Amino acid sequence: MDLKLNDRVVLVTGGAKGIGEAIVRTLAAEGASPVIIDRDLEAGSRLYNEIPGSQLVIVDLSCAENCETAVQNAIEKHHRVDALVNNAGVNDKVGLEHGSPQEYIASLERNLLHYYNMAHYALPQLKKSRGCIVNIASKTAVTGQGGTSGYASAKGAILALTREWAAELLDYGIRVNSIVPAEVMTPLYQQWLHTFPDPQRKLQTILGKIPLQKRMTEPAEIAAMVAFLISPRAGHVTGQHLFVDGGYVHLDRALT
């Protein structure tokens, strides 16, 4: 299927590694022009050098001014923005018991505020292109996890903003959707596994709870959904929360 993404300019936050990297690679393969927005210069440069036609913007998105700079850099090069993929974030384990009000605010800065800021600064261009926004959320927003108040509440807000923006931007023809991953093998996930005495045993326990094929979701599977959602093929899809998780969140636990 031709997704008709040739030359579409797509901003991807957290685009240098993990799910973001998979999104960038998939978009490039579909003919789009991905803008890799990340704070990791080494990883970003490596990916940029592998993806012809991409753009690299190294910036920390935790302040609004940097979000504006990232968008403006893309506009200066491409003179347009067709889509925004809000993806950057980290499960930083800022909990209610083991955390502080200051740490909680910092967690929201890492995981939530830049979603709004990037959308705000990209909006004038998205109006012109009748573009779209895809927000990457997390199953923690609907299941809870324990010990991660900052991340979970940020992802819950992202689901709410997805519906809110979809409603607000109807008149501009801008579609807004979110993708909700559960267990996806990324570098950050591998780091988390290695905090356990027996990482392989922990992994096997997790796999046993994933109904479909007892395996982790691949970053490329998240990326494929992103590519579809920003394409004209999904032209009447907006305000949706799409779970790409092998049935992890919604299927009966008796199955596992």
DSSP-assigned beta bridge partners for residue 32: none
- What residues does each domain of the chain span? 9-183+218-255
Spatial CB neighbours of 43, under 8 Å, sequence gap ≥ 6: 16, 17, 21
Q: Residue 53 corresponds to which amino acid?
A: G
Q: What is the pLDDT of residues 70-119, one digit of tens each?
A: 999 999 999 999 999 999 999 999 999 999 999 999 999 999 999 999 99
Assess contact for 223 and 255: CB atoms under 8 A. Answer: no
Q: Residue 64 corresponds to which amino acid?
A: A
Residue 189 — pLDDT band, cuts 50, 70, 90?
Answer: confident
Per-residue pLDDT at 187: 86
For residues 156-160, give the mean pLDDT.
98
Residue 146 reports pLDDT greater than 90: yes
User: Rounded CA gap, 172 and 86, in Å?
Assistant: 19
For residues 130-139, give the mean pLDDT.
98
Catalytic entry in 48, 115, 121, 151: 151
Q: How much is the mean pLDDT over the chain?
A: 96
Q: How is domain 9-183+218-255 classified at the architecture level of CATH?
A: 3-Layer(aba) Sandwich (3.40)
Q: Where are the alpha helices (DSSP H) in 144-218?
A: 149-168, 187-193, 199-207
Assess contact for 179 and 137: CB atoms under 8 A. Answer: yes
User: Rounded CA gap, 16 and 224, in Å?
Assistant: 17
Distances (CA, A) of 242 to 101, 177, 182, 232: 31, 8, 11, 17
Active-site residue flag, 189: no
Per-residue pLDDT at 192: 84
For residues 218-228, give the mean pLDDT.
98
Residue 1 — pLDDT band, cuts 50, 70, 90?
Answer: confident
Percent of the residues in the chain that have a pLDDT greater than 90, as a whole number:
94
User: Rounded CA gap, 99 and 112, in Å?
Assistant: 18
Assess contact for 62 and 109: CB atoms under 8 A. Answer: yes
Percent of the residues in the chain that have a pLDDT greater than 70, as a whole number:
100
